[in-house]
Structure 1
Amino acid sequence: MERMKQQNKRPVVVGIGELLWDLLPTGKTAGGAPINFVYHASRLGAEGYAVSAIGDDEDGVDILKELDKNSIQYLIEKVPYPTGTVKVELKEDGIPEYTITERVAWDHMSPTSDAVDLAERADAICFGALAQRSTQSRETIQAILSFAPDTAYRLFDINLRQHYYNKGLIEESLYLSNVLKMNSDEMNQLKELFGLNGTEDEIAAWFMEKYNLKMVVLTAGASYSTVYTPDEVSTLPIPEVEVVDTVGAGDAFSAALIMSLLNGGTLKDAHRYAVKIAAFVCSSKGAWPAYE
């Protein structure tokens, strides 16, 4: 088990879930939505931690080197399953399509005492539905989340992929979270799953009231994004940029939003910052572009 470094005064931001190699047409890049979130939060000043599992293989060795190179701290188990990979095909507009390998290391995470200790001092934790596709990792993620402080942002970046989710899993996750992030396609899937009708505003309000959320974040591709709280709504257009690919842009958006709020920013300011950082990622290759 890799150990945590000494705590400092920066916001403590944690991503729990899939750590993997995105196999892009141009080569492999490190990724996984919760870990992408940590990468960007770390670049923006957080004490960031990745919590996941890797295999005892070359891909596992290489991905730890990537975490070290990018100054991401981590609690990573080594388990007798291969390190995760995802084949990524980019459509003409730069939108990715994913083929996700099954029965890999991040499907077999355990709720270690170190991970629980980390959750107890977290200012923000990001998790999603994908890493909960296996019973073991689902129970692990939910157990770790239960130790997070009430004051922490517990961001459920729903990240619906293929057949790896159901209504029960989503409800369990919503009860453990206080922020829901989704894109417009995922909102439509949730409307169907929960039997909902209405406008985007009405759907967001329903989820906030039903699950006692402090925030709902909706990204609508290249058009706009909206951040909802019970008291305020912020909608901003997406700036036009030359898109290289959109891999990790939503995770960067979430990281910038949460970091700005943790640093005392207003909702409007945090939203503007999130849009700016997401646009930067869209204009760069891969989920972990270098910051100037």
Structure 2
Amino acid sequence: MSQSQENYIVGIGEALWDMLPEGRKIGGAPANFTYHVSQFGLDAVAVSAVGDDALGEEIRQTFAEKELQIQIATVPYPTGTVEVTLDGKGIPHYDICEGVAWDNIPFTAELEALAHNTIAVCYGTLAQRNSVSRQTIESFIEAMPAEGIKICDINLRGTFYNKEVIESSMRKCDILKINDEEIVEVCRLLGIEFTAQRRAALCLMERYEIDMLILTCGTEGSYIFCMDGTESFRPTPKVAVADTVGAGDSFTGAFIAALLMGKEVKKAHALAVEVSAYVCTQNGAMPELPEKIIDKL
């Protein structure tokens, strides 16, 4: 792909297969984010790595079918998979395989060129469990224009996180996405007394100089806190939940797409809530959004 214009929105990190009860679905938080940004017509690129195997080739083919731009390296490790089980409320629980391709994303000249032309990047903590991908993510951020927006998605999975990675990730970001369970655990790791969600959010923003914090609370709604004092709360719509896999990633993708297209925070928040609610009614993390939602931008 060509990088002749400086307007790419990148999701960098894990691209994998969610092994769901009803079958295999493509996933990975950064890939999910990128897909949902792309549905609103923006130039989004998924960056990851797959193995030289059938599952890796199928990831490439699936992204091609979804018309999603990719920079996905082939590395001598198996393509990532996650065994996903759903509880009675459709809430997923993950068993994530280790030593896989997305743990070993190389920082190439092509990737550096993409970074030079990136206006926003979304990265998470899960893909930084291995030093190779962690260094690639750090190098990508360093190669971006100074004014580029850095979005950190805290995704605490199993034992694949630590204080060092979380702090480093938050120091680099302009926008932090975190959920109600993660903010409690992050405060515990960082020695911050947790008394209330809003207080904890503002404390993290001040300590790590974060411009905006997205706090999602499942059925209890979601909040946006901004350093300029802007705040937004929206309740979660009641829908028939198929599963919640990728719902948070779709929220982030829609929110960032709306901001980049000039929408103010509260309107971007409203769109993000609607997109996330729709994704919950579908199986898997990458359903096609209906035109009535896309047309709102």
Does the pair score TM above 0.5?
yes
SS in 1 for 2:118: coil
Which 5+ residue runs of structure 2 have no aligned equivalent?
Answer: 291-297
The percent identity for this pair of structures is: 43
1:111-141 CA distances to partner (integer Å, 9 max, x unpaired)? 1121122122212111101100011111111
1:145 aligned onto 2:120: no
1:250 partner letter: G
1:105 alignment partner, one of 90, 101, 119 = 101
1:217-247 CA distances to partner (integer Å, 9 max, x unpaired)? 1000111100010121101100101101000
Distance 1:247 1:49 in 2: 21
The question of whether the paired residues in 2 share the 8 Å contact of 1:5 and 1:73 is answered with no
How far residue 178 of structure 1 moved from its aligned partner, in angstroms, is 1.0
Pairing of 1:1-292 with structure 2 (within 5 A): 4-5=1-2, 7=4, 11-197=7-193, 198-230=195-227, 231-292=229-290
How far residue 151 of structure 1 moved from its aligned partner, in angstroms, is 2.4
How far residue 8 of structure 1 moved from its aligned partner, in angstroms, is 5.8
1:179-231 CA distances to partner (integer Å, 9 max, x unpaired)? 11110000010111111123212211111111111111100011110001012
SS in 2 for 1:54: strand
Distance 1:27 1:163 in 2: 26
The question of whether the paired residues in 1 share the 8 Å contact of 2:3 and 2:117 is answered with no
1:220 partner letter: C
Q: TM-score of the superposition, structure 1-length normalised?
A: 0.96
Q: TM-score of the superposition, structure 2-length normalised?
A: 0.94
1:256 partner letter: A
Distance 2:167 2:93 in 1: 26
The question of whether the paired residues in 2 share the 8 Å contact of 1:8 and 1:47 is answered with no
Distance 1:5 1:68 in 2: 16
SS in 2 for 1:77: strand
The question of whether the paired residues in 2 share the 8 Å contact of 1:48 and 1:72 is answered with yes
Distance 2:201 2:114 in 1: 30
SS in 2 for 1:182: strand
Root-mean-square deviation (CA, aligned residues, Å) is 1.2
1:134-175 CA distances to partner (integer Å, 9 max, x unpaired)? 111111111111122232221100111011111111111112
